[in-house]
Structure 1
Amino acid sequence: MADLCSPTFDQLATELGFSCAEAGGLVELRNPFGLENWTLPVLEWTIIIGSVLALVLAIVRLRRNGDPTNLVLWFGATAYLFIIEPPLYFPAAFGIEKHVDTMFAHNVFTVDFLWGRLPLYIIAIYPLMATLAFEIVKMLGVFRRYGVLAGAVCVGFVHHAFYEIFDHLGPQLRWWEWSTANPINQPMFDAVPLPSVVVFAALWPMSLAFCVQFFVGRHVDDGQHFTGLQLIWRTIVIGVLASVGTFILPLPATVFGAGSDTVRGVLYAAELVILSVVAIALLIRQWTRLRTQPSDAPPYTNRFVQYYSVVYLCIMAVLWASALPDFFGAVDGSTSNGDPIGNLWYTLACFVVAILCVAATFTVARRSAEAGDSPSTEEQPAPHTA
């Protein structure tokens, strides 16, 4: 739709290999074998299948155990997406084009919405990633032991590890392209804007997890039940407040770094370092405590999250391996095809963190079983809630 093609988006679309003016409509379907390269459909269906399974199992958990937390988390993440992303795709339509130019463009995938702006897998990745991170932290008992804020910090940290594995690979494989001329994207961390590394990989899931646990999760843990109407309004509030939190949490960098990319970068990095140090200390301490002092309470286990985390990490490892020849052949940060490369060392660190977090959930479950604890809470139905 030509009248929706801003000059920046049109340029990014052309560099990705498609025409903005000819990019479908509200919904467009494509042949998965006709996309830019084979990695696009592999990524797309890995995320979509995982997200659908997460939704189905969240519904099953509500029906069997009376626990709506995962369902609220899934829809809260989706609500956040639809609050945050449309203005970034169509700044002129929202009257903010003088303040926010196009920040990025997704490549076209098998299923796209909004004239090539929103692939289905992007809708799916928000609730999937949030579910994986939230449930890993919950399985390690951080919310129960240290409270809502501490648990949310750990969710932000775990989500960051999973997300940055994907974030540093996307530009090289043409999953999307960033507008490096946009000052909002500065400073860059190799192929990825540092604001994305901090805000969208760590701070927004922290904000979402805090809201979900505060409005729903902690009450469910205390045995409270919710009606359908109560869950609907709480989910909407969670989506809105998580968006507000995403604006508030990075304020030190956005306010005090407004006049300097260097200052802004230092402040963004400082926020991430603080979050990471706190989360690492909490996760190690809690894992050690669970290994050495098993609780009398039955352990909480989410087998889907445990195994799908492994699937996700294995597929991302294969995708990264496929990109390494061009990565190592890159000159001045770009491959021979002109695609920017991410930071391999940072990605490897994120792989290590993600693997350790997933492994911790298996070792805690095994220790509890050896200690003769009761079955997992997933196997103990709670009264059904309306």
Structure 2
Amino acid sequence: MADHCSPTFDQLASALGFSCQEAGGLVEVRNPLALENWTLPVLELTIVLGSVLALVVAIVRLRRMGDPTNLVLWFGATAYLFIIEPPLYFPAAFGIEDHVDTMFAHNVFTVDFLWGRLPLYIIAIYPLMATMAFEIVRMLGVFRRYGVLAGAVCVGFVHHAFYEIFDHLGPQLRWWEWSTENPINQPLFDSVPLPSVVVFAALWPMSLAFCVQFFVGRHVDEGRRFSGPELVWRTVVIGVLASLGTFILPLPATVFGMGSTTARAVLYAAELLVVTVVAIWILVRQWLRLRGENTDDPTYTNYFVQRYSVVYLSVMALLWATALPDYFGAVDGVTDNGDPVGNLWYTLACFAVAVLCVVATFTVPRRNTAGSDTASAGAPAATGP
């Protein structure tokens, strides 16, 4: 597959410590103890295990409660991945090399696909992150109270907090390398392209959540059951439309910011600010309402998401802690090993938001959770093993 080793990807791969020309085939398995550093297999195990468990819980929920929302979310996120990522890995194969150069390169992990382009954990992280964000918002009853769009905005905000903890650490620990000269990656927010901070951390999960709740979740809330073929076509449509949403939602920045990095930065930041302000207002208001309201409305709990969110945040905290000595020793944003560092203060803010969101799900009173067979956004608590 050496003919697909573009100069940019070859340069990024070399910086990460592997050769593009020698990077496996369709599938390659490596010794996890022989990777670039010990953080790679730890990250890989955390994400892959969580994603597999999320899939199991989604299947169990469908079988026991007749609720396919989590399963559609899982496969919808995966469908989105396979629509969006391959053209970014092989722009020449898709005929877009004149418009889109290689944006980044992942390091090689224990299990890789597509000639070193796609680690297994990247396939896993899309549905895992989407599940954690969606279910936190669902447990707080936002979809039920405020509707599809407001719920989707909150999912984008929560996902952003969880994702940026990971996004600002990856370049320093050589999980991936950004092409900093690529105009699409401009402007940079320390070691992270601002488009990644806004589009991939907030807007795509917002788009996905809207489609999942619109095509499946709201109907399940009303007691509707779907057949297998209905779920298949709806999942495919969700993946496609979520991809379109990722193109449409950042249009103010991509169109009006064209030709000016500063204007693009302001517009990206403005979009993220709108999402943040709206989501914080809704989430805080809804949490206070649930805490103070005496109601017999049934509530919903996903025990797996509650517990695995704690696992994820704990692992990320450990990885960040081990990276801090090199972070504080960095000069001009680059460590002694030549690796760019992320923004610690922004990451701490994201940690705070993520922790508060998880804690909020534990502090909402639970009512009428037993004996119900309706898998709604306000339905039974027993959703996980």
Tell whether the 8 Å contact from 1:204 to 1:246 is kept in structure 2 after alignment. Answer: yes
- The secondary structure found in structure 2 opposite 1:124 is helix
- Within the candidate set 370, 375, 386, 2:369 is matched to 375
Q: Which runs of 5+ in 1 are unaligned?
A: none
- CA deviations on 1:230-263 (whole Å, 9 max, x unpaired) are 0000000000000000000000000000110000
| Alignment partners' CA distance in 2, 1:359 and 1:118 | 33
| Alignment partners' CA distance in 2, 1:174 and 1:79 | 27
| Alignment partners' CA distance in 2, 1:180 and 1:195 | 12
The offset of 1:294, in angstroms, is 3.9
After superposition, residues 46-125 of structure 1 pair within 5 angstroms as: 46-125=46-125
Instruction: State the match for 2:381 in structure 1.
Output: none
The offset of 1:374, in angstroms, is 1.5
Q: Which amino acid aligns with 2:368?
A: S
Alignment TM-score, normalising by the size of structure 2: 0.97
| Alignment partners' CA distance in 2, 1:250 and 1:294 | 41
Instruction: State the match for 2:351 in structure 1.
Output: 351
Aligned residues: 375
| Alignment partners' CA distance in 2, 1:361 and 1:174 | 34
| Alignment partners' CA distance in 2, 1:354 and 1:295 | 27
- The secondary structure found in structure 1 opposite 2:21 is helix
After superposition, residues 223-242 of structure 1 pair within 5 angstroms as: 223-242=223-242
The offset of 1:174, in angstroms, is 0.1
Identity of aligned residues (%): 82
Instruction: State the match for 1:269 in structure 2.
Output: 269
Q: Which amino acid aligns with 1:268?
A: Y
Q: Structure 1 runs of 4+ off > 2 angstroms?
A: 379-383
RMSD: 0.8
Instruction: State the match for 1:281 in structure 2.
Output: 281
- CA deviations on 1:59-92 (whole Å, 9 max, x unpaired) are 0000000000000000000000000000000000
| Alignment partners' CA distance in 2, 1:294 and 1:175 | 48
Tell whether the 8 Å contact from 1:89 to 1:117 is kept in structure 2 after alignment. Answer: yes
- CA deviations on 1:138-172 (whole Å, 9 max, x unpaired) are 00000000000000000000000000000000000
The offset of 1:375, in angstroms, is 2.0
Q: Determine whether 1:141 maps to 2:141.
A: yes
| Alignment partners' CA distance in 1, 2:67 and 2:184 | 40
| Alignment partners' CA distance in 2, 1:24 and 1:338 | 26
Q: Determine whether 1:194 maps to 2:194.
A: yes
| Alignment partners' CA distance in 2, 1:380 and 1:167 | 39
| Alignment partners' CA distance in 2, 1:171 and 1:350 | 17
- CA deviations on 1:201-248 (whole Å, 9 max, x unpaired) are 000000000000000000000001100000000000000000000000
The offset of 1:295, in angstroms, is 3.1
The offset of 1:382, in angstroms, is 4.2
Q: Which runs of 5+ in 2 are unaligned?
A: 376-385
- The secondary structure found in structure 2 opposite 1:98 is coil
| Alignment partners' CA distance in 2, 1:209 and 1:27 | 31
